[in-house]
Homo-oligomer: A and B are copies of this chain.
Amino acid sequence: MSFAEFALIDRIRARSKGRDDIVLGIGDDAALLQPLAGHWLAVTADTLNSGVHFPPETMPADIGWKTLAVNLSDLAAMGATPAWGTLALSLPEASEEWIDAFADGFFALADAHGWRLIGGDTTRGPLSLSVTAFGQVPHGQALRRDGAQVGDDIWVSGTLGDAAAALHLWQRGELDVTAVAQDADREFLRQRLLRPTPRVALGLALSGLATAAVDVSDGLLADIGHIAARSSLRACVEPDRLPLSPALQRTMTLERARSSALAGGDDYELCFCAPAANSSRLHAVAEQLGTPLTRIGGMVDGAGVDCPGMPVAQGYVHFSNAHAQGVQR
């Protein structure tokens, strides 16, 4: 092992904090953890590749934040409390400056959620970041995709389409992802792309209220489609109910904004189903957490996704959708 890699690993290790349930952290053949009794372990894995999942010039601190955010978002969608995880990092060249900046973003989010890095690997290669994140959820309280019932309302948190709009602006050369935008709306959209908020507290609050949940990473229609498929139902989305941010509405036409909200990915909001009887309790959750929740449709018998009057163009593919598209963009 070269001194260069030792130095990088040491820099990451120095940022990794302990927890009472970490029996042995980074530095042996494997870490040793003490899982909570009466809980399931929730495990998710997501990879971000430079040029596929983020613009190559993205600042390392933003890459660090987003690498962990997309994984914590999956745990949130299961109603799990983030616990620990691993990071596999491929870097074209050893750079302590890059690692330090990356760690700034990564551990800012990790520390905010008490999530601890307990292992990983640093290798030479094209820039690529894979996190496997573990969370814990009490027996029987996980939010799955297959529990939606006929008559359930469909809800979504926050606003949709902002990240895809920022990417659209970047693709047109109208947004610099590496610098604060002068225009407040553009800066808002830029932050939504680079620093998504995993809805962890919301996921926990939805236990007992929601029948099914998914995070909006591939685009709303694709993700509610997963719930529809796994629940053997049809999802009906009402486009005029979509929560659109003022910044998004001021940046593009209503039609484009809705299209962005429906097909754009990278929002990392939660989309979930709940019986109508839970509406008032959901409004209370929204108020308590300061996280807007919007009812955007309902589940009916059938299959697939229905979104009247909004035939989303088949070819409307965002850069961000490459995350979902994977090997064949």
Which of A38-46, A233-241, A253-261 lies at the interface? Answer: A38-46
- How far is it, in angstroms, between the C-alpha of A75 and the C-alpha of B28 when the chains are bound? 10
Assess whether A30 is in contact with B324, with CB atoms less than 8 Å apart. Answer: no
**Chain A contact residues (Cβ within 8 angstroms of B): what range?**
35 or more
Chain B hits for A77, CB < 8 A:
29-30
A118 within 8 A of B: yes
Smallest Cβ-Cβ distance to A219: which chain B residue: B1
- How far is it, in angstroms, between the C-alpha of A322 and the C-alpha of B134 when the chains are bound? 29
Chain B hits for A80, CB < 8 A:
30
The answer to whether A5 and B125 touch (CB under 8 A), given A33-B41, A119-B43, is: no
A303 within 8 A of B: no
- How far is it, in angstroms, between the C-alpha of A92 and the C-alpha of B84 when the chains are bound? 30
The answer to whether A30 and B42 touch (CB under 8 A), given A125-B52, A327-B93, is: yes
The answer to whether A90 and B122 touch (CB under 8 A), given A32-B78, A77-B29, is: no
Chain B hits for A27, CB < 8 A:
145, 230
10 contacts between A and B (CB under 8 A): A2-B329, A30-B77, A31-B42, A32-B78, A33-B43, A35-B35, A45-B87, A47-B123, A47-B125, A52-B123
